[in-house]
Amino acid sequence: MGKIAFVFAGQGAQSVGMGKDVYDAVPEAREVFTKADAVSPETSAQCFEADAAELMQTKNTQPCVYTVDLAMAAALEAEGIHADMAAGYSLGELAALTYAGAMTIEEGTRVVAERGRLMQIASEAHETGMAAVLKLQDDKVEEICAKYPDLYPVNYNSDGQVSVAGDKEQLQQMADDVKAERGLAKILDVSGAFHSPYMNQAAEDFATFLADAEIGTVNIPVYSNRTALPYEGDYKQLLVEQIINPVYWKKLVRNMIDEGVDTFIELGPGKALTSMITRISKDVKMYRVSDMETLQKTVEGVKNNG
């Protein structure tokens, strides 16, 4: 067996009631929620009880998804399965850094809560959103976006999937251009134009906040959305730049495969990363952990293939 990579879900993966069955069944996962609640007291209640509208608010989404991501990792670790390297999609990158020892869960929750608060403020300043463009090559999406002053290709997810952020009205107009090129544009369940210049103020304020944050180094490689390479140098600067720059997920995953990863495990709500990675490579094994059922299937699959 080659190397195992844990990949942590990001914003947009949230779902009502997420994490509850694992919280109830696995003490190690429950401890993650307890530590998060010590910093952000509403987190567990929002994960388990909030409706979709409340969960969609960025200030709530980010600490909730971060906590569920790490709770799933704790449940998997309790079964004796560990990662050789890690990555996270956007917000999930902070969960990856925490898993790899750069932050405590408490400090990570504090950082993520502030990140979510600042990004929500930035989102509310403009009528913006995001759309996934499917079935077109990256350069074609870039060409279409270049026609619009306030649209930006921001998430390079897999072959034939790029997310675009920007002005809501222009996103709707872009959808017609995408359709004319025989592609499909799907509006995403997020509340702002993330990873674009619309987040400049959030990034600036986040940099100020991070000056006093306790962020150390990682004990396994964590791949950066910004560079698609393992974290090195100024971690805080990479986290700030990530907010306003594209996520190079496709390149990141390919780099991990080149370093020997043949098994990816998605941790957290949803299965978006599983879908992306399956499209990036047909040669890797893909598992996910979002609840007790998928936890059990993943443990069985990994141990049988180990």
Rounded Cα distance, 79 and 77, in Å: 5
Mean pLDDT, rounded, of the chain: 96
Rounded Cα distance, 50 and 54, in Å: 6
Rounded Cα distance, 115 and 263, in Å: 30
Domain 128-187 bears CATH identifier 3.40.50.2300? no
Catalytic residue among 40, 90, 191, 196: 90
Is the pLDDT at 306 greater than 70? The verdict is no
> pLDDT tens digit string along 118-157?
999 999 999 999 999 999 999 999 999 999 999 999 999 9
3-124+197-305 and 128-187 share one CATH topology?
A: no
Global pTM value = 0.96
Rounded Cα distance, 136 and 181, in Å: 8
pLDDT of residue 1: 66
Which of the two residues, 201 and 2, has the higher pLDDT score?
A: 201
Distance of CA 258 to CAs 3, 107, 151, 231, Å? 11, 32, 32, 16
Q: How many residues does the chain have?
A: 306
Which H or E run includes 1? none
Kindly list the domain boundaries of the chain, sorted by start residue. Answer: 3-124+197-305, 128-187
Q: Could you tell me the pLDDT band of residue 188, with boundaries at 50, 70 and 90?
A: confident
3-state SS class at 206: helix
Q: Is 224 a catalytic residue?
A: no
Rounded Cα distance, 269 and 115, in Å: 19
How far does Cα 21 stand from its chain's mean position? 22
pLDDT of residue 305: 82
Is the pLDDT at 265 greater than 70? The verdict is yes
Rounded Cα distance, 280 and 298, in Å: 20
Q: Is 90 a catalytic residue?
A: yes
**Second-level CATH architecture of 3-124+197-305:** 3-Layer(aba) Sandwich (3.40)
3-state SS class at 38: helix
> pLDDT tens digit string along 70-127?
999 999 999 999 999 999 999 999 999 999 999 999 999 999 999 999 999 999 999 9
Catalytic residue among 123, 195, 196, 290: 195
